[in-house]
Amino acid sequence: MLHLEPVTKENWRDAVFLTTDPKHENPLDEEWVTSTAFSMLQAVYEENWDCRVVYDGEMMVGFVFYGLWKGNRPLLCRYMIDIDHQGKGYGQRALPLIVRQICAQYHSQKVYVTLEKENRRAVYLYEKFGFRDTGEVDEGENVYLYRVDGAGAM
């Protein structure tokens, strides 16, 4: 069963090596996402950020980094499925869990995400789920918004 878990002293070492890099070199800044190691460190030192790992049963398959952005806007900042588990539907299946986690944790009916428009797979995933482009751009990335009360079902 797919579920989210906090990064802990028991699982952080496995989480560090989750990567989207086909060569498994774990660069600090991968093609479309910043590394899990950087994200976990950021969550420790910047209080507005949090992270979770995505599990299928006992198997770690992905990572998510989220928090409050621009004051009080819940942002799904980084989301990745490990290269060894891509193409198996995990990205689509875990997204509702992630959105529910963010909404519950921040008592919000909205979740934002920023995307590079060239990342067609991510744009397709988020739009299919119900995220809509707001027309806003942040640091070169398009800002998308999901409204629990309107633009898509969870």
* pLDDT (0 to 100) of residue 30: 56
Catalytic residue flag (residue 112)? no
Q: Which amino acid is at 7?
A: V
Crossing angle between the packed helical segments 90-106 and 120-129, to the nearest 10 degrees: 60
Q: Cβ distance 115 to 33 under 8 Å?
A: no
- In the three-class reduction of DSSP (H, G, I as helix; E, B as strand; rest coil), residue 16 is classed as helix
Q: Are 64 and 74 in contact (CB under 8 A)?
A: no
Catalytic choice (66, 106, 112, 126):
126
| Domain locations along the chain | 2-108
What confidence score (pLDDT) does residue 41 get?
86
pLDDT tens-place string over residues 31-66: 557 778 888 888 889 989 999 999 999 999 999 999
In this structure, which topology does domain 2-108 adopt according to CATH? Aminopeptidase (3.40.630)
Q: Which residue has the higher pLDDT, 3 or 42?
A: 3
Distance between first and last Cα of the chain: 17
Distance, CA of 88 to CA of 108 (rounded, Å): 30
Residue 151 phi, psi (nearest 5): -95, 65
For the chain, give the mean pLDDT: 89
Residue 118 CB partners (closer than 8 Å, separation 6+): none
151 pLDDT exceeds 60?
A: no
Q: What digits encode the pLDDT tens for the residues 79-104?
A: 999 999 999 999 999 999 999 999 99
